[in-house]
Chain A
């Protein structure tokens, strides 16, 4: 097979890209900018500025950032510990962190709901050792907790991968040139894992920003995120145009994240994927 013939093998995928990736996105644009009669309008876009939407967007951003930062703070030390274990079989690590995903995530979130319940396991334990029970359920904190739980593996794996790639020579060279552990951490390890950090941040921030199931389950309907607003406008209100214009806003957020990631990901093909 010469090169040209080999390229043709991507043909079916090209059809798929156009039909099921690009065309659907154009549909969102269409619904966001055209009304039922097919005439152009900016009306739906202006709905974005309504108090409910703005509140939902700000809350989504806040919770998304909080979840991302917590994930990063939890994942980075863990990645370092895992890396120090010097496990030869790196796929084992991937395996361990992917395994929970084989249990349906709604059920896992439900399990947390049972654990965090007013009379749940956590509070039973807390009260038995004489501490105040925590009423975290149905608060934004519970939603952040759920997001951290659900997306933590997406932060751990890219950071671990980029850390495993750092050659021992760099560390030794820095040591040799007089750097102590702290300097090595800030000047060598963090910069060299930056692409992993960025991938992790994007892979946690985007789904956290746009989730609606977690907030529905752990927020008890009291925490309204942009995802919930969109879901309602499609599944309950039949306000497809308004929903589409909000989706467009989400897409822009995502595109910005993608661009940032591309700038930092010099290898081009993504530490994004495990």
Chain B
């Protein structure tokens, strides 16, 4: 009993540690006070101002574009690569997996700098270079989410489909895809997360004109933060939370309805 209570207290403390800053930001986004620490009454003005600030809206738009495009592209390249890798012999497999580990394990700052050094040789830093960088560090997450699913996927079912006269593409769509779908999906989510949260790599590859939310924040933080940003991040946080909850519960609902129909 004592052990149980201790466990619960400990778990609560860790959750508090992880979520306390988020709680603070959410509270501050409604705080009608110039000094950040004191509570000056409830207000929604930061939410209104945040939508009127051009700097914030531009950075927000850039972030969205980069996140969506990089996640989609890296999911496609990564899924194809995972299928390719799963068909490989040990040696080439090791090469691919080793290379996949590089951006995953290398220091963000080194990854960012190395790409910057390459990019400045050929193009001006800007939107495209950030995009390429994001795709590069997102692909490994996709691959490592899809590969285990491919391993679990029963190879003989795919071959059985071919045997029954399905074209390879049809067999893939009907047999393999359903088995790896969840992996592709979680890979995509991971890519979105990493892209949204990235600061270091964007910082080095972005050049002068472009800003994502992260890099804008970094500059702003030195000047003193604007409360509009709390509002924006609160909105983002709850949007994402809602999306994730929807994603997690929708498939289950579908399943149960098909069961009922049967």
Chain A contacts to B: CB under 8 angstroms = 1, 3-4, 6-14, 16-17, 20-25, 27-28, 30-31, 74, 77-78, 81-82, 84, 91, 95-112, 114-115, 117, 119-121, 149, 152-153, 202-203, 206-207, 209-213, 217, 227, 230-231, 234-235, 240, 243-244, 247, 250-251, 254, 257-258, 261, 268-270, 272-273
Contacts and interface: CB of A to CB of B under 8 A. Distances in A.
Main secondary structure of the interface of A (DSSP, over half): helix
Interface in B212-242: 213-214, 217-218, 221, 225, 229-230, 233, 236-237, 240-241
A243 B107 CA distance: 14
B197 A13 contact: no
B244 to A, nearest CB: 7
B30 interface: no
B143 to A, nearest CB: 8
Contacts of A99: 241, 244
Contacts, number: 228
A268 B196 CA distance: 29
Counting contact residues on chain B (CB < 8 A from A), the size range is 35 or more
For the complex of A and B, 7 pairs with smallest distance between CB atoms: A10-B84, A111-B21, A210-B107, A24-B114, A13-B81, A6-B87, A27-B117
A20 B37 contact: no
A234 B88 CA distance: 40
A240 B117 CA distance: 9
Contacts of A152: 14, 17-18
A24 B117 contact: yes
Nearest to B172: A1
A115 B80 CA distance: 46
Interface string B114-158: 111110010000000000110110010101110110000000000
A213 B110 contact: no
Nearest to B215: A106
A45 B33 CA distance: 51
B72 interface: no
Nearest to B36: A114
